[in-house]
Structure 1
Amino acid sequence: MSTVNPWKRFIGLLPGGTRTVGTVTSVNLQNGTSVITLRNGNQISAKGTGVARGLKAFVVDGQVVGQAPGLVQFDIEV
């Protein structure tokens, strides 16, 4: 049964899980994983080999889901 509570309906539209963007440092085709370097310098291992080394990748819940655009990022403090 669906709810009439607008807040719960809104939360139901949002995707769950952890999402991040990082640069692919290495790709291991033998075990199907990639090493991703995050913006803060930490490295993680993620499942998937769909993005080539040196490019940015979207990582969702520990899995490479696609190539991310190589846009410039700015940090603005208010």
Structure 2
Amino acid sequence: MATVNPWKKFIGLLPGGSKTVGEVVSVNSSAGTSVVELRNGSQVVARGTSVAAGQNAFISDGQVMGQAPSLPQYDFEV
């Protein structure tokens, strides 16, 4: 059943899921997965092998979405 609530309709238009950038540490072609090191130092196993080891990748909901540019990261404390 469709809702008439405008807020729920708006929320339905927004993309969901978590998105992050990390460096691909290794690629397992036979399993179709990649080990990705995130900027905080933790490693995750993501589905997909489209990015080579040593390159940055966009990760969305545990899946490699594509290559990300290598940009500097700055941390500031306020």
- TM norm structure 2: 0.85
Q: CA deviation at 1:4?
A: 5.6
Identity %: 61
CA RMSD of aligned residues (A): 1.5
Q: Which residue of 2 aligns with 1:15?
A: 15
Shift of 1:12: 2.2
**TM-score normalised according to structure 1 size:** 0.85
Work out the number of aligned pairs and report it.
Answer: 77
* Structure 2 unmatched ranges of 5 or more: none
Q: In the alignment, which residue of structure 1 is the partner of 2:27? A: 27
Partner of 1:45: 45
Question: Any gaps of 5 or more consecutive residues in structure 1?
Answer: none
CA distance in 1, matches of 2:54, 2:3: 45
Amino acid at match of 1:14: L
Question: 1:3 corresponds to which residue?
Answer: 4
Superposition misfits of 4+ residues, deviation over 4 angstroms: none
